[in-house]
Structure formats: C-alpha cells, structure tokens
Amino acid sequence: TGYITHDPGFVNTGAASSAITYIDGDAGILRYRGYPIEQLAQKSTFIEVSYLLIYGELPTKTQLDDFTEKIQRHTLLHEDLKAFFSGFPRDAHPMPVLSSAVSALSTFYQDSLNPFDEPNVELSTIRLLAKVPTLAAYAYKKSVGQPLLYPDNSLGLVENFLRMTFGFPAEPYEVDPEVAKALDLLFILHADHEQNCSTSTVRLVGSSEANLFASISAGINALFGPLHGGANAAVLDMLEGIKNDGGDVANFVSRVKNKEKGVKLMGFGHRVYKNYDPRAKIIKNTADEILGKIAGGDELLDIAKKLEETALSDDYFVERKLYPNVDFYTGLIYRALGFPTKYFTVLFALGRLPGWIAHWREMIQDPATKIGRPRQIYTGETERDYTPLEQR
Ligand code: CMC
C-alpha cells in the first residue's frame, strides 16, 4: 500500500511465526515447546533442552544418547583454527574473539554454505553445539595466557567445557559436580527467549540465506551489547561500584531515578516482562544455595538483594513495571564459579546457542520467510543541486 508503520525497536512488530518459545510477559510465564521453564530447570539437562528446542520434542533415551555421542565426537577444532587465538591481543574481550572464531567455521566447513542442504544443516548444528564450548574455553585460555587443552570426550558437555577452561594439560582436573550442575541450570535458563535482539539478528542474517555459522556469529555480536547479554557483566560492575562507594544502595537508586547519564539499574527491566522474570526467580532461589555452597556467602549478593528490595518498593520502578531480569543474579553465580566478569557474556552465548540454532532452522524451513528488509521514514534533505568544491 506504500503505508509505512514506524516502529523503532520493533516494539510492536511480529517478525515471525514461531513454535519454539512462549512468553507471557504480564504473567511472567516462559515455556520451551510448551514445557514450563520451572519444570525444565528442575528436571531436565542442558543437552536435553537443546534437543527439545531444536527438534521440537523431548528425546527418547536412544535419541538422547545418539545426540550426546554425536556432539562428543565433534568437539575437536581443526588445528589451523587454533592459530586464530594467537592472533588476537591478549587482553581482547572474549566475545569478539568467539564471534570471529564462529564466523571462521564457514571457512573450515565449506560444505555448510547451502542453507537448504538438510544433512549439512544437521552437521553444522552438531558442529556448533560441540565446538562452541571448545572455542569459548580457548577464548578464556587466551585471555589468561594459558595453554589450550584438547577436549576429553569421555566427559559431558558442561564438564568438558569446565575442564578445558580451568584445567591444565598435564594435570588431572576434577570437575566439581556442584559447579557443573549450577552451570547446566544457567544454560537451561538462557537457552531460548523468542525474538530477542540476538535471535532476531540470527533470523535476519539467515533470511538472506547466509549459512548457520555466519548467522550465529552475528547473533553473538548482538549479544555482546550491555543492554542485551552484556548486562550480566554490567550488573557485577554496578554491584562492585556500590560496594566501593560504601554500599549506599539508596544513593545509587536515587541516581538511577534522576536519570544520571550512564546510570541505569542494570539487570532490571525487560521489553516483554512487565512482571518478575521467571528465570530471575529461579536463579534467585538457587543463588543463596549455590553461593553458600561454592563461595561461602557473598557480600555482593547482600547488596543485590537490598537493591532489589529498594527498587521494588519504589514508585519509579513500580510505575514502569521494572523487575529483576535474568541477568540480575547470574553474574554473582558466574563469579562464584570462578569466571572473570569479562567472560560472563560468553556463558550467556553458550546457553543461547541451541535457541539461535532452533530459530535459524525454523526460519529457513518456513515457506513464509522472506528476506528481512525493513523500510524507513526518510527525514533528510529533499532534492538539491550539487555544489562544486570551490563554491562550498
Ligand atoms: N533502570 C532504570 N530505568 C529503566 C531501566 C533500568 N534498568 N529499564 C527501563 N527503565 C525506564 C526507562 O528509562 C523508561 O523510563 P521513561 O518512561 O521515564 O522514559 C522506562 O523504564 C521504559 O523503558 P524502555 O527503555 O522504554 O524499555 P525497553 O523495552 O526499550 O528496554 C531494556 C528494555 C532491557 C533494554 C531496559 O529495561 C534496560 O536497559 N535494562 C537494563 C539492561 C539490562 O538489564 N538488560 C538485560 C535484559 S534481559 C536479558 C537480555 O535480553 O539480554
């Protein structure tokens, strides 16, 4: 019709039909393929949830064993890909290191370029699920200047990742089952969240028929930003800032309310949830337990709880329906598990990976998919004549 709806931030634009994840933001409900997040958090595992998101159903025992084994067989990287890690500056942020390495997978697996070749899409899916944890561990090793470890395929996905991250080549590494369980839970909670910024990016890039690796690499870059995945690190910086200022939570909250430049209550607010984020609820309930067991309590957790309590009883936050989101408590747990702040967003990416893959596959198979190409409302100059350089 020629009529353009102006919708900055796509607040009111449904870009796709999807059968993967259901969110009711007012009621604080999140379900993957119909299963409530609370049940999956309690009863499932990250690998099973990955299968559920990608293939649509919970696996049978045989399907799960087969899926697990396939992933275990693909964890190794091509030796030439490892050379990438020596090319980056040592203090490089691990997110762009990860997205570059994922992008490079297209060069190592040129059989992946046709998005409609189903057996190869399947292979790319397994390769990503298997190799991204290896890449993520190497991004960490690079940042601390330690040698890279080959994967140990007798271990599960999360255990293997922890060993490659924190272990040393010639030394045995005992995976702490509490740590592995906590990380597995966090990965489940991050595994999908319908049309968020990074998933929409994956779908948009994929809509041009770019392959899975290129699309996921773009998603990782979208997740890097502090308003999206980068918020988990920003929350920890915020909590540490409050602690260093003497723990004055009320003063921080009033700076947020006065909209001081660059001062936001990180880990609060959500485009869709106008209620407590159900993921944050689960994390909060387990944070005490996990932090108590692993770190023996945490001063920053006390500040976080006080901050939450102050905000939830303040009109500014109540009127705007701002509640803690998934990132509010995750950073504290990641820190207790031994990860540096800079690395938190990489953990979000590991968790979100199966969701991105599921959406890309759904998008590519959907006959209604068209290349994403929004319109604009032009606000620039109308037509004018070129002025020669000497007359300007
Ligand atoms: N602290 C203070 N004020 C806030 C916050 C916050 N965290 N979030 C929203 N507001 C205010 C905002 O200033 C606006 O106020 P006003 O009506 O006076 O202009 C009002 O609430 C509505 O906010 P909005 O910016 O229009 O909301 P949005 O849907 O565009 O943004 C958001 C959503 C998540 C980007 C935003 O809430 C935010 O920046 N939060 C902090 C960053 C964060 O925690 N991000 C993680 C999101 S969850 C995980 C993920 O998806 O990655």
Q: What is the CATH number of the domain that holds 151?
A: 1.10.580.10
Per-residue pLDDT at 262 exceeds 90: no
Q: What percent of the chain has pLDDT over 90?
A: 86
Same structural domain, 157 and 209? yes
Contact 239, 304 (CB under 8 A): yes
Q: What is the mean pLDDT of residues 205-226?
A: 98
pLDDT(3) > 80: no
152 burial type by CB count under 10 A (0-12 exposed, 13-18 middle, 19+ buried):
middle
Q: Is residue 341 part of a domain?
A: no
Given the cut 0.90, state whether the ipTM is greater than it.
Answer: yes
Q: How far is the CA of 236 from the centre of ligand 1 (A)?
A: 17
Q: Is 161 in the same domain as 243? A: no
Residue whose Cα lies nearest atom 50 of ligand 1: it is 228
State residue 339's pLDDT score: 93
Task: Assess whether 216 and 269 both reside in one domain.
Answer: no
pLDDT at 285: 84
Which residue blocks in the chain are alpha helix, DSSP H?
37-43, 46-55, 61-73, 79-87, 94-108, 118-144, 157-166, 177-190, 197-206, 212-223, 231-244, 249-257, 278-295, 299-312, 315-319, 327-336, 344-365
CA distance 162 to 20: 28
**DSSP annotation of 268:** B
Residues 135 and 242 in one domain: no
Whether residue 270 lies in the annotated active site: yes
Atom of ligand 1 nearest to the CA of 229: 52
pLDDT interval class at 126 (50, 70, 90): very high
Whether residue 327 lies in the annotated active site: yes
Is 298 within a domain?
yes
pLDDT at 5: 82
Q: How far is the CA of 316 from the centre of ligand 1 (A)?
A: 12
- Residue 323 Cα to ligand 1 midpoint, Å, equals 10
Nearest-CA residue for ligand 1 atom 5 is 269
pLDDT, tens digit, 9 for 90 and up, residues 181-199: 999 999 999 999 999 999 9
Is 24 within a domain? no
Phi and psi angles of residue 215, each rounded to the nearest 5 degrees, phi first? -70, -40
Confirm if 375 and 8 have CB atoms less than 8 A apart: no
Q: Work out the average pLDDT over 62-91.
A: 94
pLDDT surpasses 80 at 296? no
Alpha carbon of 202 to ligand 1 centroid (Å): 22
Residue minimizing CA distance to atom 30 of ligand 1: 271
The residue whose C-alpha atom lies closest to atom 15 belonging to ligand 1 is 320
User: Of the residues 184, 277, 298, 327, which is catalytic?
Assistant: 327
Average pLDDT over residues 54-74: 97
Q: At what angle do helices 94-108 and 118-144 cross, to 10 degrees?
A: 140
Does residue 132 share a domain with residue 209? yes
3-state secondary structure of 30: strand
Q: In this structure, is residue 375 part of a structural domain?
A: no
Query: What is the distance in A from the centroid of ligand 1 to the CA of 212?
Result: 30
- Measured in Å, residue 105 CA sits from the centre of ligand 1 at 34
Whichever domain contains 262, its CATH number is 1.10.230.10
Per residue in 365-376, pLDDT tens?
A: 999 999 999 999
373 within domain boundaries: no
Rg (CA), the chain: 22
On whether residue 371 sits in a domain, the answer given is no
Query: Do 198 and 325 belong together in one domain?
Result: no
Q: Whose CA is nearest to atom 31 of ligand 1?
A: 271
Same domain as 263, residue 143: no
Same domain, 187 and 247: no
Q: What is the DSSP string of 165-217?
A: HH--TTS--PPPHHHHHHHHHHHHHHS--TT-HHHHHHHHHHTTT--HHHHHH
Pick the atom of ligand 1 nearest to 223's CA: 52
Q: Same structural domain for residues 171 and 301? A: no
The domain of 81 spans: 46-227+353-365
Report if residue 205 sits inside a domain: yes
Protein residue with least CA distance to atom 48, ligand 1: 325
Please state the rounded mean pLDDT for residues 88-105.
94
Closest-lying ligand 1 atom to the alpha carbon of residue 256: 2
Pocket of ligand 1 (CB under 6 A): 9, 196, 227-229, 231, 256, 264-271, 320, 322, 325-327
Residue 245 belongs to some domain of the structure: yes
Q: Which residue has the tokens 């090793």?
A: 141
Structurally, the chain folds into a number of domains equal to 2
Evaluate if residue 1 carries a pLDDT over 60. Answer: no
Neighbours of 381 (CB within 10 A): 6
Atom 20 of ligand 1, residue of closest alpha carbon: 320
Catalytic residue among 228, 270, 298, 359: 270
Atom of ligand 1 nearest to the CA of 267: 44
* Mean pLDDT for the stretch of residues 308-337: 93
Residues 178 and 315 in one domain: no
Let me know whether 166 and 71 are in one domain.
yes
Measured by CA distance, the residue closest to atom 27 of ligand 1 is 271
Which atom of ligand 1 approaches the CA of 270 most closely? 34
Q: Can you read off the two tokens belonging to residue 170?
A: 């010639």
Ligand 1 center–CA 230 separation, angstroms: 14
Verify that 223 and 248 share a domain, yes or no. no
Question: What separation in Å is there between the alpha carbon of 148 and the centre of ligand 1?
Answer: 39
Confidence of residue 310 (pLDDT cuts 50, 70, 90): very high
